[in-house]
Homo-oligomer: A and B are copies of this chain.
Amino acid sequence: MKLAIYGYGNLGKGVELAIAQNSDLSLFCVFTRRDPKAVKTLTGAKVFAAEDVLRYTNDIDLLIVCGGSATDLPKMMPALAAHFNVLDSFDTHRDIPKHFAAVDKAATESGHIALISAGWDPGMFSLLRLYGEAVLPCGKSYTFWGRGVSQGHSDAIRRINGVLDARQYTVPINAAVDAVRSGACPDLTAESSHRRECFVVAEPHADRARIEKEIKEMPAYFAGYDTTVTFITAEELQRDHAALPHGGFVIRSGRTGKNGENTHVAEYALQLDSNPEFTGSVLCAFARALCKMFERGDRGCKTVFDIAPADLSPLSPEELRAHLL
C-alpha cells in the first residue's frame, strides 16, 4: 500500500516513522507547503511541493493529511478527497459533524474513501468510549487527559503579551481518578478532574504578576481550573520540557444485576512518550484498513467507529483467530 504524507510538521514526521515500522506500507513521498528543497525528511523520503499533489494521483493509494484542525483540515480534506483516498486526525470534537459532512460529500462524489479523526482522542479513546457504553449501558463514562503537554493551551499562553515561550501540562486530579476507579460514579467536570501546570518563559522585564493573572483568568482555557504558573528560563524549557509526552485514560463504570448490585469498571490507559509519534502510528493502522476497504468497493467518509478491527491488522483473518482471539 503506497501512502503519502501531506503536511510535514511533528505529526507528519510521526507518520513517516510509523510507516517505516510496517512492512506492508510504503511511503511514496511527503508533500510540503514550504520549499521542498529546504525540507529534509527523517527517513530520506522524497519531498514534493503541496501545490503539485494532483500530478501524483496514480502513484498514491492513500494520502495522510497532517494539518491543523482549526483552519487547514476543513479546507484540505474536502479538496483532496476529490482526488485521493484521504485520512486525517481532525480533533476539534464539536466540529466533527460538519467536517464529516464536507469530507463525505467530496469522497462520495469522487468515488474515494476517507476517514476523519483518527488518533488517540479522537480515535482510540473514542473507540473505548463506544465499547464501554455498548457493553455497560447502565453506567457512566469518564475521560481523563494527561499528564501531558497540551499544544492548544501552550499556544494560548504564548499569545499573552510579554510571553516568549510556554509549555502547559494537563494533569488528572488523583482524588477524582480514585473516586471513578472505585465505581462510585461521581459527578465530575473537566475542571474538577484536571489541574493545569504552566511553565512560562517571560520577556526580561515583563510584569510576571500580570501574566500569571491573565493565564489563570483566561476563559475556556484556564478559568475554573486549579492552575499553577512557574516562570523558567528558555534554557530550562529546552532542557526539561522539549518532549511531547501525553496520555490519559477512559473509564466506563457500570452496574448489572437484578437490582444493579454488581459493579464493573473498564479502564483504557495510554502513557505516551511522544504524542505525535503515537498518533502517527494510529493513522498508519487506519490507513491500512482504508486501503483494504477501498479494494472491497467501500466509498465515502468513515470514522474509527466504522472500521472492523480485523482491517487494521496486517494479519489474515485465520491468523487473527488463531493467535489473537
The interface of chain A, by Cβ under 8 A from chain B, is 14, 17-18, 21-22, 42-43, 93, 96-97, 100, 117, 122, 124, 126-131, 133-138, 183, 254, 256-258, 261-274, 277-278, 280-282, 285, 288, 303-310, 312-314, 317-318, 320-322, 324-325
Chain B residues lying within 8 Å of A22, measured Cβ to Cβ, are 137
Cβ-defined contact, B129 with A324, below 8 A: yes
Chain B residues lying within 8 Å of A310, measured Cβ to Cβ, are 130, 303, 305-306
Chain B residues lying within 8 Å of A261, measured Cβ to Cβ, are 273
Known interface pairs A277-B262, A325-B96; A21-B138 also in contact (CB < 8 Å)? yes
Mind listing 9 A-B residue pairs with CB under 8 Å? A17-B257, A126-B324, A130-B310, A256-B280, A264-B271, A264-B274, A304-B309, A304-B325, A305-B313
CB distance from A87 to the nearest CB of B (A): 14
Cβ-defined contact, A97 with B318, below 8 A: yes
Cβ-defined contact, A21 with B137, below 8 A: yes
Cβ-defined contact, A266 with B268, below 8 A: yes
In the complex, the chain B residue whose C-beta lies closest to that of A122 is B325
Closest 10 CB pairs of A and B: A262-B273, A134-B312, A305-B310, A256-B277, A262-B274, A134-B285, A265-B271, A267-B269, A126-B325, A134-B313
Most chain B CB neighbours (cut-off 10 Å) among A273, A282, A307: A273
CB distance from A275 to the nearest CB of B (A): 10
Give the contacting residue for A263; candidates B257, B273, B305, B312; CB below 8 A. Answer: B273
Most chain B CB neighbours (cut-off 10 Å) among A262, A274, A280: A262
Cβ-defined contact, A322 with B126, below 8 A: no
Bound: A325/B127 CA distance, A: 8
Bound: A127/B278 CA distance, A: 18
Cβ-defined contact, A305 with B277, below 8 A: no
Bound: A126/B325 CA distance, A: 5
CB distance from A48 to the nearest CB of B (A): 22
Bound: A135/B310 CA distance, A: 12
Chain B residues lying within 8 Å of A322, measured Cβ to Cβ, are 96-97
Most chain B CB neighbours (cut-off 10 Å) among A131, A264, A265: A264
Chain B residues lying within 8 Å of A96, measured Cβ to Cβ, are 321-322, 325
CB distance from A73 to the nearest CB of B (A): 14
Most chain B CB neighbours (cut-off 10 Å) among A21, A117, A322: A21
Give the contacting residue for A18; candidates B97, B256, B318; CB below 8 A. Answer: B256
Not counting A100-B321, A265-B271, A305-B320, a sample of 9 additional A-B residue pairs whose C-beta atoms are within 8 angstroms of each other reads A130-B309, A130-B324, A135-B312, A136-B278, A254-B281, A262-B274, A264-B277, A265-B270, A306-B309
